[in-house]
């Protein structure tokens, strides 16, 4: 199995930044790369905010936090970020053509032993593997939001992924103190999001048919089913824009009209109401 010392996370959004932080906290040398300098700055500030909270709650020591931040480098250069990497985790926008271009570029720049994983739950690794010359080293490694809190990570083998790559990925998940499950075959959405998708679809159906309000549907889930938050609060947390892109990809893949982003999702997306990250989604948030 490949020994992992250095991890590179590409894309410094909510998912990428926290994946990088979790890896640094576990003792790995980490590069967090993004082409957008401003996004890196936002990521750094947000991570300091989350970690400061943990320090003040006594969950982590100041020294541990300082060591983790010393291991975490924020860079715009992809070349620098992957030059000596052992494991790349891509967490950029959910667009196939953009991801394929990035995978080809990483393949050109990274050492030949490096594994390249995508955090995507809708774009399976076989759609990216042939953009590289190392298809057996490509897999999905799917985290949940917020990554600092959620324990599960799905490792997904594509038809081209080698056993060694999957084993290394499973081992890495354990080393960053998360719980892996290994999906032996690709299926869009994987396990957790397929189940969650069914819940969200039903919540939107009930809303669009004027059965109940956003607040009431969320209350049904929190107070009747004991979910930590309702489906609309969760959409605000994970990003209505992300949901829009995911459904768009599913629609393009299947041609199934039922997979298209629903009316309410499209409206919010077009209004720039993405949820917590824009201050407004199904709920409003103070910045
Ligand atoms: N980032 C990092 N940490 C966060 C956070 C965030 N955005 N939001 C909350 N937390 C931390 C808090 O700091 C707190 O930490 P401590 O336990 O150390 O104090 C902990 O989470 C609990 O937070 P709160 O007490 O403020 O609030 P809460 O009890 O409502 O918990 C929650 C917040 C953890 C997000 C909880 O509501 C929850 O578990 N929600 C469900 C999340 C979920 O279903 N995620 C899966 C989404 S699907 C997905 O991710 C798929 C995908 O493909 C992207």
- From CA 135, how far away is CA 117, in angstroms rounded? 11
> Is there a shared CATH topology between the 6-183 domain and the 193-276 domain?
no
Residue 141 pLDDT > 90, yes or no? yes
Average pLDDT for 258-265: 94
Residues 6+ apart with CB under 8 A from 62: 55
Domain ranges of the chain: 6-183, 193-276
Residues identified as active-site: 121, 142, 154, 193
Over the stretch 72-104, which tens digit does the pLDDT of each residue have? 999 999 999 999 999 999 999 989 999 999 999
Q: pTM surpassing 0.95?
A: no
For the CA of 239, the nearest atom of ligand 1? 54
Residue 51 CA: distances (Å) to CA of 142, 220, 274: 22, 33, 25
Question: Which pLDDT value is given to residue 246?
Answer: 85
Q: Quick check: 2 pLDDT over 80?
A: no
Class of domain 6-183: alpha beta
DSSP assignment letter at 4: P
Q: Which residues line ligand 1 (CB under 6 A)?
A: 50, 53-54, 57, 59, 121, 144-146, 148-150, 193, 196, 228-229, 234, 238
Higher pLDDT, residue 92 or 254:
92
Distance 146 CA to ligand 1 centre (A): 5
Q: Which CATH number applies to 193-276: 3.40.50.10860, 1.10.1040.10, 3.30.499.10, 3.40.50.300?
A: 1.10.1040.10
pLDDT tens per residue, range 184-207: 999 988 999 999 999 999 999 999
Q: Is the pLDDT of residue 234 over 80?
A: yes
Strand partners, 155: 141, 182
Q: Is residue 178 within 8 Å of 152, Cβ to Cβ?
A: yes
Please give the average per-residue pLDDT across 143-168, as a whole number.
Answer: 97
Nearest CA to ligand 1 atom 31: 228
Q: What is the reported pLDDT for 217?
A: 98
- Measuring CA to CA, which residue among 100, 152, 165 is closest to residue 126? 100
| pLDDT at 122 > cutoff 90 | no
The pLDDT of residue 18 is above 90: yes
| Candidate from 47, 146, 223, 275 with most ligand 1 atoms within 8 A of CB, to mutate | 146
């Amino acid at each position: 199995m490949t020994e992992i010392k250095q991890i590179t996370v590409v894309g410094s959004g909510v998912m990428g930044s926290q994946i990088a932080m979790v890896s640094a906290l576990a003792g790995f040398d980490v590069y967090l790369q993004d082409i957008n300098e401003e996004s890196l700055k936002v990521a750094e500030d947000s991570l300091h905010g989350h970690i400061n909270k943990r320090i003040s709650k006594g969950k982590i020591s100041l020294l541990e936090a300082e060591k983790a931040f010393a291991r975490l480098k924020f860079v715009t250069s992809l070349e620098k970020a992957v030059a000596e990497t052992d494991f790349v985790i891509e967490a950029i926008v959910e667009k196939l053509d953009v991801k394929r271009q990035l995978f080809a570029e990483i393949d050109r720049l990274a050492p030949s032993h490096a594994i390249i994983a995508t955090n995507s739950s809708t774009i399976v690794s076989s759609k990216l593997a042939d953009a590289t010359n190392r298809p057996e080293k490509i897999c999905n490694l799917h985290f949940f939001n917020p990554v600092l809190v959620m324990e599960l990570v799905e490792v997904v083998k594509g038809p081209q992924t080698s056993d060694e790559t999957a084993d290394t990925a499973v081992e890495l998940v354990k080393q960053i103190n998360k719980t892996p499950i290994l999906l032996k075959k690709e299926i869009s959405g994987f396990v957790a999001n397929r189940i969650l998708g069914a819940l969200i679809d039903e919540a939107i159906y009930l809303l669009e048919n004027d059965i109940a309000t956003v607040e009431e549907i969320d209350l049904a889930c929190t107070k009747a089913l004991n979910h930590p938050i309702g489906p609309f609060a969760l959409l605000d947390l994970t990003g209505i824009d992300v949901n829009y892109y995911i459904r768009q990809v599913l629609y393009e893949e299947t041609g199934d009209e039922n997979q298209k982003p629903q009316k309410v999702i499209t409206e919010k997306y077009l209004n720039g109401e993405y949820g917590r990250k824009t201050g407004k989604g199904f709920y409003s948030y103070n910045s």
